[in-house]
Amino acid sequence: MKTIKGPAIFVAQYLSDTPPYNTLPSLAAWAGSLGYKGLQIPVDPRLIDIDRAASSPEYCAELLASVRQHGVEITELSTHLQGQLIAVHPAYSELFDGFAPADLRGDPAARTEWARSQLFAAAQASKNLGLTAHATFSGALAWPFFYPWPQRPPGLVDTAFAELARRWLPILDAFDAAGVDVCYEIHPGEDLHDGVSFERFLSAVHNHRRACILYDPSHFVLQQLDYVRFLDIYHERIRIAHIKDAEFSSDGRQGVYGGYSDWPDRAGRFRALGDGQVDFRAIFTRLAKYDYPGWAVLENECAYKHPEDAAREGAAFISRHIIRVAEGAFDDFAGSGVEGEGIRKVLGIE
């Protein structure tokens, strides 16, 4: 078994134009001061020149040095926004335009090509940074039809996943060449939003070895999916874990589809670590049991608590839950010393 690395923090929700949240070194200093040992960083020009990182190992060495001086490592790069743009249903085209550079807005084809180029660059940049996993979204073509009313025409979902696979296969191959796993966050709003949809995608990409999972239990709480059993089923594909809390409390007025309410008023909502319902003892035990190779990464999207407080409390929370795995069995002291042919004698086998 492996001891999980951490704590780390995903800084996308903290990135701003105000110090210390506006540069990679200052974010590293802030995170290090709170006890974090890793930063998961979005591919954003304020933090990383992704094209330069893809072509220059020297530049990557400078980035690593800039965070290591604060006792922090880069855990993974994230292209959640770019991954979303790989597949956008027209119903969401205008809303997702804001994820692309201003000069590409209103041009879906150019927007998608830009997103592809960002992901290809992220593959090589991850290699140059010495990373082995990458965080992203799958995008969505079928999400507007997730509830079959009116009845979906036969073949709609199959066609959507075949097209999603066609768009992702060259990117998966590029990450494979770089030795990096592509970890799709299983997330409502994406075509990969639960185990069944991930399996459908995995089949469509021919069980590509780089098609992996970013595990986040909070999204499963909101779906009322068994997030512990999910680890039992998919642990071989889980390479990134967001440690994020949530709660679900339905009533006589709303349930899992309470999406028209604002976040604080929904039946399901995200919470700061320890303030929700997620059983993190069970999660960290499963991650240790299955030799999870990555980091425990805080993501904060609490509907109530100030993000600075959530970050400060989160580092200690994750540290308390990381299990330093045992190096031997508890009853080794009482070992019989029998081995080899002696085992046959113990069993009465001549």
Domain segments of the chain as ranges = 5-346
In Å, what is the CA distance from 348 to each residue of 334, 343, 345?
21, 9, 5
Q: Please compute the mean of the pLDDT values over residues 102-123 and round it to a whole number.
A: 97
Size (the chain), residues: 350
Segment 220-233 mean pLDDT: 98
In Å, what is the CA distance from 192 to each residue of 235, 294, 297?
A: 16, 21, 20
Q: pLDDT tens, 14-31?
A: 999 999 999 999 999 999
- What tokens were used for 348? 């009465």
Q: Report in angstroms the alpha-carbon separations of 136 from 46, 76, 215.
A: 18, 10, 11
What is the rounded average pLDDT of the residues 111-133?
Answer: 98
Which superfamily does 5-346 belong to? Divalent-metal-dependent TIM barrel enzymes (3.20.20.150)
Q: Of 245, 276, 308, which Cα lies nearest the Cα of 11?
A: 308
Give the pLDDT of residue 301: 97
Helix (H, G, I), strand (E, B) or coil at 345: helix
9: number of Cβ within 10 Å: 33
Average pLDDT over residues 91-111: 96
- 327: pLDDT confidence band, cut at 50, 70 and 90? confident
Residue 212's pLDDT is: 99
Q: For 197-209, how does the pLDDT look when each residue is reduced to its tens digit (9 = 90+)?
A: 999 999 999 999 9
Give the pLDDT band (50/70/90) at residue 86.
very high
Confidence of residue 318 (pLDDT cuts 50, 70, 90): very high
